[in-house]
Amino acid sequence: MCSNEPVKKFQSIELFSGAGGLALGLHAAGFQHRALYEWNPSAVETLLYNQRMGHASLRGTKITRGDVRQVDFTQYLGVDLVAGGPPCQPFSMGGKAAGMNDSRDMFPQAIRAVAEAQPKAFIFENVRGLLRPAFSNYVEYIRLQMEFPTFPISQNISWDQNLARLERHKETVGSSCGDLRYRVHLHLANAADYGVPQQRNRVFFVGFRSDIETDWSFPMPAYNDPSRWIPLSKAIGDLPDPSSKKASKWANHVFQSGAKPYPGHTGSPLDRPAKALKAGAHGVPGGENMILFPDGSVRYLTVRESARVQTFPDDYKFLGSWTEAMRQLGNAVPVKLAEIVGRSVAKALSRQVRQKVKASDSETLQSS
C-alpha cells in the first residue's frame, strides 16, 4: 500500500457542510460520511445532485437539510470523527464581526455534537477573523468547551462567567481521568502553503479524545515559500474562454458580465494565487472574485474557475444562480487543504488501531 493512502475508512458525520468542500477532502483522506447536515437549500441541492450523479465522496451518505439544533447526535455515539465549519459570519468582517453576540454563532452546536457523539476526533474550521484580539477570550471559551464538552454551561450567566467556571474546572481536574475530555489543537493555516492556488487563511480546531494516544501535530506545509505557491494561471489555464463555444463543454463555465474594479477590490493577478474567494453578507464581493489580466482588464471568475481555485474536481457541479453558486464556493473549505488535514487525523487514528491490535495480540500470546 502506498504510504500516503489511508489505512481504512473511518466513519464520520459533518455539520454545516455547505457545498461539500470539507466533505470531499475528508472522504479522500479516508473518512466515510454517515451523515451531512446543512441549512442552505441551494447548497443541499448541490450535495444531492452530485450524490445522484454517483460522486464517490457522497455515496451512501445521508444528506439532510435542517437545523442542527434539532438533531439528536446520540444516534452517532462512538463515530470516529465529527467535523464541520460553523457559520463564520459572526467572526468575519463581511459578517460585521459580532462574534459571541451574533445569533449565527453555531459553535455551541458543534460542541453539543461532540458531547453527544463522543467521537475519537473532531475537526472544525473557521475564518482567520476568529483570532482577532477582541475575540481572544471567547476563543479560549470555545477551546475549553471543546476540551470538556459535557461540562454544564449555565444559561443564567454570561459566557465570560462560564469561561471562569471552565477555567476553575480545569484547575480542579488537572490531568486526572474522568469525564469526557479532548486534547484540542488550534492552528491557523494559509491554503496557499498547502498547494491550493488561493491565499485563504483558515483556523482549525482539531481534537482527540483523551483515551486516543497520539502525538499528532498539524501537517507541515510543503509550499510555504511564496516562490512555490501555485498561481491562478496554472489552476485555470487549460479552461477555454468562457464566452467561447468550447466553454459549453465544461459544467459551470459560463461568462458573467459586469465585472469592474473598485478601491480595495482589484481582482486576482494570474501570476499569483487567487485572493480568497468570499461569499459576502449581501451578495458576492466582486473584487475577490475577479481575474486581473496583464493589460489591466478584469472579468469575473466563472463558477468552474472558482471551483478550480477551491480545488474541487471538475466532475463536481454547483447548482443555483452564479451568485448563489459563488456564495457556496466562497463559504467552502479548499478540498485539498481539507484532505491534507483529514489525512493526518486518519493516520493518527490508524496508528491507534494498530497499537490496539498489537496489544491484543501480545495479550493473547502471553495467555496461551
Q: Which residues are catalytic?
A: 88
| Distance, first Cα to last Cα, the chain | 32
Let me know the angle formed at the C-alpha of 279 by 275 and 282, rounded to the nearest 5 degrees. Answer: 130
The number of C-alpha atoms within 13 Å of 152 and in the hemisphere containing its C-beta is 2
From the number of C-beta atoms within 10 Å of its C-beta (0-12, 13-18, 19+), residue 1 rates as exposed
Q: Which residues contact 82 (CB under 8 A, 6 or more apart)?
A: 12, 13, 14, 15, 73, 76, 110, 113, 114, 117, 119, 121, 122, 123
Are β-strands 274-275 and 198-199 bridged in parallel, bridged antiparallel, or unpaired? parallel
Residue 186 belongs to what H/E stretch? strand 182-190
Q: Which residues contact 158 (CB under 8 A, 6 or more apart)?
A: none
* Helix axes 136-147 and 159-173, enclosed angle (nearest 10): 50
Q: Retrieve residue 90's grid coordinates.
A: 459572526
Q: What is the C-alpha separation between 24 and 50, in angstroms, rounded?
A: 11
Q: Which residues contact 302 (CB under 8 A, 6 or more apart)?
A: 239, 242, 247, 252, 253, 254, 255, 256
Q: Retrieve residue 206's grid coordinates.
A: 482539531
Q: How far is CA 87 from CA 17, 99, 127, 143, 241, in A?
A: 10, 11, 9, 17, 34
Let me know the angle formed at the C-alpha of 200 by 195 and 204, rounded to the nearest 5 degrees. Answer: 90
State how far Cα 240 lies from the chain centre.
30
